[in-house]
């Protein structure tokens, strides 16, 4: 009687670690290439990612794309001498979220350094794609962080249900030179505005 032969079990396939973009690009999330990054994908994604996990007032979500536009606007007030490259870094400061979404700060802290390392790698690829330094200079990062916190204060008080006292406790009081009135805009409107601002900053003229 013939002896039954055993076949070695197939090795399990590695989990998929890439994302198909609407541009047709396939972005490897573990090793992102600048060649697979397109501004249209970034604008499309960020316009559909909600700040504050969507817990904001208004007919529309307050998107990361709209937030990014406001932060870049604040940077123009804080650092009026900046060139276009620095302003572009401000506009793209949350660009990795077109892939990984907008996680609230407490959750980022809970995930730890692995998340931050992944985010930094993706940011470097985005910067290289658009002719920016792979790593943001500390001075530029500091201004953008300040603008980001100022924007968060106004988002918190005008859209996310925070009292002024709560917002000041977490974000500090904004400078008197910055006054914002935020109104969440429709996805298509924000996507178009983001692309328009990007093109004005990437143009060397």
pTM passes above 0.85:
yes
Q: Looking at residue 30, what is its pLDDT?
A: 82
Q: Is the pLDDT of residue 8 over 70?
A: no
Cα–Cα distance, 150 to 162 (Å, whole number): 14
Of the candidates 107, 123, 109, 103, the one whose C-alpha atom is nearest the C-alpha of residue 34 is: 123
Q: Looking at residue 203, what is its pLDDT?
A: 75
> Please, which residues bridge with residue 19 across strands?
27
Q: Is the pLDDT of residue 111 over 70?
A: no
**What residues contact 187, with CB distance under 8 A and at least 6 apart?**
47, 48, 60, 63
Cα–Cα distance, 79 to 86 (Å, whole number): 10
CATH number of 36-202: 1.10.3210.10
Domain ranges within the chain, ordered by starting residue: 36-202
Q: What angle do CA 201, 102, 74 make, to 5 degrees?
A: 40
pLDDT in tens, 12-53: 665 667 888 899 999 988 889 999 999 999 999 999 999 999
């Amino acid at each position: 009687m013939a002896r039954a032969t055993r076949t070695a079990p197939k090795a399990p396939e590695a989990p998929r670690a890439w994302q198909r973009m609407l541009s047709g690009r396939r972005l490897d999330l573990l090793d992102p290439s600048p060649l697979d990054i397109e501004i249209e994908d970034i604008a499309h994604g960020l316009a559909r990612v909600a700040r504050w996990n969507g817990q904001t007032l208004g007919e529309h979500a307050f998107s990361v794309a709209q937030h990014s536009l406001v932060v870049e606007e604040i940077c123009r007030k804080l650092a009026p001498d900046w060139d276009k490259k620095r302003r572009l870094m401000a506009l793209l400061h949350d660009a990795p979220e077109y892939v990984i979404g907008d996680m609230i700060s407490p959750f980022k802290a809970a995930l730890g350094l692995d998340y931050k390392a992944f985010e930094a790698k993706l940011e470097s690829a985005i910067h290289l794609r658009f002719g920016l330094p792979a790593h943001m200079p500390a001075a530029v990062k500091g201004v953008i962080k300040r603008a980001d916190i100022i924007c968060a204060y106004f988002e918190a008080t005008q859209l996310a249900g925070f009292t002024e006292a709560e917002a000041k406790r977490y974000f500090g009081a904004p400078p008197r030179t910055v006054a914002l009135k935020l109104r969440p805009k429709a996805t298509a409107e924000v996507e178009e505005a983001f692309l328009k601002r990007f093109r004005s900053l990437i143009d060397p003229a």
